[in-house]
Amino acid sequence: MEFFDSLIRDVSLLTEPLVKKEYAFSDSELWQDVGYSQVILQRDTASELDGTGFNLVTSSPVEDGIVVIGDDLQHIEGKRKFARISLVQIESEEDEQKAYNLIRKIEYVKYHHFPDGYMIRTSSRSHKEAVRVSKTAVKNGISFQKIGSLLINKYKENPAVKAVKVIFITDPAADHAELENMAQKNNRITETLNHIMNSVTFDCDTCNLKPICDEVEGMKELHFKNAGMNR
């Protein structure tokens, strides 16, 4: 599974010059998951994060951990640009259909975790991610390490997930426009995979997904193989 590896390299290049804090994943320091979508009212709000959130799935090695670039949740007041990127290492899977199903299952995690006092607005069809953090959660010691550990724990409920690194970016100096472009490209790759795995008919000359197939190695071959055709 290498379709997202060039984006992982792009994320690494973008974040390389920025100041980072790195934390270990700790399953004894998880932030509480309340199991349902909470509503945090404006008057109870400590901060609002607005930006992108996306997963990049790979079978290349990833180290478990949480990376924070910019202020942590205890030090943000009001509105702030934000990004959350999860690098998810899965078992190497020869069967493309299984690998594709796994990507979809991993995607569910982003809108099926409910940290206490950390209201996430996202959808299965969008790379946008907005978060509202409550004053009570700040008082109770919420941090990206604890939120990240909760998220990693959720991904790891799937036994095929080997390791996860979650990167939180709140540094205004980060190139958030470029992060948005990466999130959009990630969506286009996923959309192309959806098409490839669910459609046996194709005409590359008229296909609106051709730019991604031309750019990402192995996409066209996968569609031809999946459609039972040799090139």
- Contact residues for ligand SF4, defined by CB under 6 A: 192, 195-196, 202, 204, 207, 209-210, 213, 219-220, 223
- Measured CA distances, 112 to 93, 194, 223 (Å): 24, 21, 30
- In the complex, least distance from residue 8 CB atom to ligand SF4, rounded to whole angstroms: 22
- In the complex, least distance from residue 201 CB atom to ligand SF4, rounded to whole angstroms: 8
Sequence-separated (6 or more) residues with CB below 8 Å from residue 193: 3, 100, 103, 219, 222
Tokens 């790891």 correspond to what residue? 156
Element (H, E) at 99: helix 96-109
- In the complex, least distance from residue 230 CB atom to ligand SF4, rounded to whole angstroms: 14
- Phi, psi for residue 154 in degrees, rounded to 5: -65, -45
- In the complex, least distance from residue 103 CB atom to ligand SF4, rounded to whole angstroms: 16
- In the complex, least distance from residue 199 CB atom to ligand SF4, rounded to whole angstroms: 7
Give, in degrees to the nearest 5, the angle at Cα 134 between 128 and 136: 155
Q: Which lies closer to ligand SF4 via its Cβ, residue 59 or residue 194?
A: 194
- In the complex, least distance from residue 218 CB atom to ligand SF4, rounded to whole angstroms: 10
The per-residue DSSP string of 7-50 comes to HHHHHHHHHTTS--EEE---TTSPPPB-SS-----GGGEEEEEE
Q: Which lies closer to ligand SF4 via its Cβ, residue 184 or residue 208?
A: 208
Q: Are 134 and 62 in contact (CB under 8 A)?
A: no
Q: Which lies closer to ligand SF4 via its Cβ, residue 135 or residue 188?
A: 188
Q: Which lies closer to ligand SF4 via its Cβ, residue 110 or residue 220?
A: 220
Q: Which lies closer to ligand SF4 via its Cβ, residue 55 or residue 192?
A: 192
Element (H, E) at 155: helix 144-155
Q: Which lies closer to ligand SF4 via its Cβ, residue 160 or residue 207?
A: 207
